[in-house]
A and B are shown apart, each in its own frame.
Chain A
């Protein structure tokens, strides 16, 4: 049996890791705002956040492709600043993944923050903790399960994406050929053994990650208010 190249696997892990980190930074404040706001804009923002769940990946990919093309403002700016195009690049893939996986980060975090209630934060404020202090020392530790769930879902979802990647990134070895694209190509060219190895590897990986999450989740203390 021919061993397939491991480049696509490595690229997928890098992409998913980077997308998870970026989304943790962007998604946490957004989820916090959604969980606490009484603004009338909330349902609109929630709908926008949830769009990637219901849109076909090709639709999302199509608009992202238009946005990143050198003729659009974003793509043009990118070309000016970096001298490379955003489409068919790792950076382009990362931006697309962040948009595509946004609800997988925001929704579990929002649910975790909402389930906190106002109690612990009021208690912290009464003990002179500023809002940021209270978030870091009370809300975040009490939402550990939410963070874990959000990170795992985001990571796994990014590993599994196909349509958006194909639209925005194409299939450039070492740059944009991620594992799902590689499997697709192996199948298209009838190299089933290699497709098999990658597919089975991905299956095993997903299983191991999920088992780890469930075990870890069980060990985390449950904080019932």
Chain B
């Protein structure tokens, strides 16, 4: 149901210079699925998004999408923002305050006419349904909660029927509870409407759960680009861990559901894990898990019964002690996955941990990708 033909790409070769900051990105991004643009604040994520939208007047270079050239500064081509078939949401929502939610949706709906080459398959009632906007239609933006505002803004962006959807940190202004409230909507968005999406975020858990691939930006340059699992696994997050909290993404297969304890058993390279029941995944389907390094403890022997249910055995392959803090980051090889653990340097010494020694990793908690059929 993807409106874009196989092989459509967003071609970026773009430079934006401000005083004290410059962005220089050359990357072709497949226009399919969800691509996360990931990096610390100030790395140029939002600037890159604004260049694609056409809001950066000083952008130089070339931006093309599916055969259309939106920017070619060498040839003087610069498509104005309102002629680019791009939809977006902003960090602060930016709903029109003089219109109610219905009016905001209608504003987008009326202007997304087919001659602009827009994706036609978005229907107003579908959008209202997908984002549960019906109870909000008559309300003004200033009466909405942060989460409701982002839902309305997402609906409005979808109704501009874009061929490319740009989401600029839709969760960053929300507290933890509101984030959890919006996440299921975000997860359902791409499978339902099939619009290629760039998702800007500085939160590794959002990226791990939502994205098919990741573009990592730091100081205006591309650091890495590739599939989410590979990039997050290979990427040396150490310089970023202060902000991001190191984490690992694991891909496991659903084994069986347990009705009595409402658990789902997962198989990870032959080891078993149990998580709160995942209703919509059938045995045999794959589930993506995010494990934060700070939620992993290490032991040199399989621990006697504890309340921690998930214990994985592996081999310690790296131990980075940060002498300026109390902590060390350990990397444990589980077979086809590598798990990161954040332990104290004191425990590492007491356990006599050394590279090559067998260890047991105790997982205090895991986050689940709740997408269906991915």
Contact = CB atoms under 8 A, between A and B. Distances in A.
Contacts of B82: 124-131, 133-134
Which residue among B55, B81, B116 has the maximum number of chain A CB atoms within 10 Å of its CB? B81
Interface string B74-112: 000000111100111010101111100000000110011
B268 interface: no
Contacts of B88: 126
Contact of A123 (B80, B86, B90, B112): B90
Contacts of B83: 128
B94 A120 contact: yes
B140 to A, nearest CB: 8
Contacts of A137: 107
A134 B94 CA distance: 14
Interface in B95-140: 95-98, 107-108, 111-112, 116, 140
Contact of B97 (A122, A133, A225): A225
Interface string A107-141: 00000000000111011111111110110011001
Contact of B81 (A125, A133, A223, A224): A125
Report the contact-size class of chain B (Cβ under 8 Å from the partner): 20 to 34
Nearest to A141: B98
A124 B99 CA distance: 13
Contacts of A124: 82, 96, 107
A221 B92 CA distance: 20
B160 A126 contact: yes
B111 A129 contact: yes
A225 B80 CA distance: 24
Contacts of B81: 122, 125-126
B316 interface: no
B96 A123 contact: yes
Given A119-B90, A123-B90, A224-B142, A128 B96 contact: no
B116 A223 contact: no
B53 interface: yes
Interface string A214-225: 000000010111
B151 interface: no
Contacts of B340: none
B55 A138 contact: no
A223 B92 CA distance: 15
Contacts of B108: 127-128
Contacts of B116: 128
A159 interface: no
B114 to A, nearest CB: 12
A221 B140 CA distance: 11
A142 interface: yes
A128 B97 contact: no
A138 B97 CA distance: 9
Nearest to B162: A126
Contacts of A223: 97-98
Contact of A122 (B55, B156, B157): B55
A120 B96 contact: yes
A127 B98 contact: no
A171 to B, nearest CB: 47
Nearest to A225: B97
Contacts of A128: 82-83, 108, 111-112, 116, 160
B86 A126 contact: yes
Contacts of A133: 82, 111
Contact of B92 (A119, A130, A138): A119
B284 to A, nearest CB: 41
A182 to B, nearest CB: 43
A134 B55 CA distance: 15
Which residue among B90, B96, B140, B160 has the maximum number of chain A CB atoms within 10 Å of its CB? B96
A126 B96 CA distance: 13
Which residue among A120, A127, A129, A130 has the maximum number of chain B CB atoms within 10 Å of its CB? A127
A127 B92 contact: no
Contacts of B87: 126-127
A101 B179 CA distance: 52
A118 B56 CA distance: 12
Contacts of A127: 82, 87, 107-108, 111-112, 156, 160
26 contacts: A118-B55, A119-B92, A119-B94, A120-B94, A120-B96, A120-B97, A123-B90, A123-B96, A124-B82, A125-B80, A126-B53, A127-B112, A127-B156, A127-B160, A128-B108, A128-B112, A130-B82, A138-B98, A141-B98, A142-B96, A142-B97, A142-B98, A221-B97, A223-B97, A224-B142, A225-B97
Given A123-B95, A129-B82, 14 more contacts: A119-B94, A120-B97, A122-B81, A122-B94, A126-B160, A127-B107, A127-B108, A128-B160, A129-B111, A137-B107, A142-B96, A142-B98, A223-B97, A224-B97
The 7 closest A-B pairs by CB, nearest first: A125-B81, A223-B97, A123-B94, A128-B111, A127-B108, A125-B82, A141-B98
